[in-house]
Amino acid sequence: MSKTVHCNCKSGCQTKRCVCFKNDEPCDENCGCINCKNPLNGIVIIPDKVKKEVIKIVDRFNNKILSNYPCSYHTRFKHDYLYLDREDYGNSPSPICCLKYTGKMDKWEFEIFKYSIMGYDPYECFFPGEEHVDGTIEGALKAGMEAYHM
């Protein structure tokens, strides 16, 4: 991801008045901010190259494994997270899991979506399909297929 804006904040970069924070970007050395406390600083942003590779992996899974089923996985990216949603029977995509990027393609941190709390749970490790969770995108896709049957 390339940075699109730079700020000159005097108030700490913690509000939407900061153009960096408003654009979901961390501040960097080219910003002129003073006493910067932008909460996005230090977050590992998933590089565009990795995003493209992830999309290829998900598309390959959809075409190879799900070709005989009326469903498909969709990707969403935000900061250092990849969200995997699944569209079943033409309905709107539903959350399945999210993966936190650690800097390596085979070391994603897995969180299953729990409808009982309407959120992602990094501590839940007892669910159908948990044996597939191995730090890879493919493992997460397989785990989601067992955790949430079509």
pLDDT digits (tens, 9 = 90+) for 101-137: 998 999 999 999 999 999 999 889 889 999 999 999 9
Q: Does residue 82 share a domain with residue 53?
A: yes
Same domain? For 66 and 125 the reply is yes
The Cα–Cα gap between 10 and 34 comes to 5
Q: For residue 63, with 0-12 CB atoms within 10 Å meaning exposed, 13-18 middle and 19 or more buried, which class applies?
A: exposed
Alpha helices in the chain (DSSP H): 19-22, 48-64, 137-147
Q: How many CA atoms lie within 13 A of 93 on its CB side?
A: 12
Task: Return d(Cα 31, Cα 33) in angstroms, integer.
Answer: 6
pTM given for the model: 0.77
Looking at the structure, tell me whether residues 130 and 94 fall in a common domain.
yes
Pair (58, 119) in one structural domain: yes
Res. 44: pLDDT tops 80: no
pLDDT of residue 1 exceeding 70:
no
The pLDDT score that the predictor gives to residue 79 is 83
Q: Are residues 6 and 62 in the same domain?
A: no
For residues 1 and 70, membership in a common domain is answered with no
Extract the tokens encoding 70.
């009326």
67 in the same domain as 130: yes
**Do 106 and 52 fall into the same domain?**
yes
Domain count, the chain: 2
What is the per-residue pLDDT for 4? 82
Is residue 12 domain-shared with residue 52, that is, in the same domain? no
Q: What is the mean pLDDT of residues 53-81?
A: 94
Partners of 121 in the beta sheet? 112
80 with 111, same domain? Answer: yes
Instruction: Verify that 29 and 64 share a domain, yes or no.
Output: no
Mark whether 22 and 85 lie in a shared domain.
Answer: no
The average confidence (pLDDT) of the chain is: 92
12 close to 20: Cβ distance less than 8 angstroms: no
Q: Domain range holding 115?
A: 48-147
pLDDT bin (cut points 50, 70, 90) of residue 2 is: low
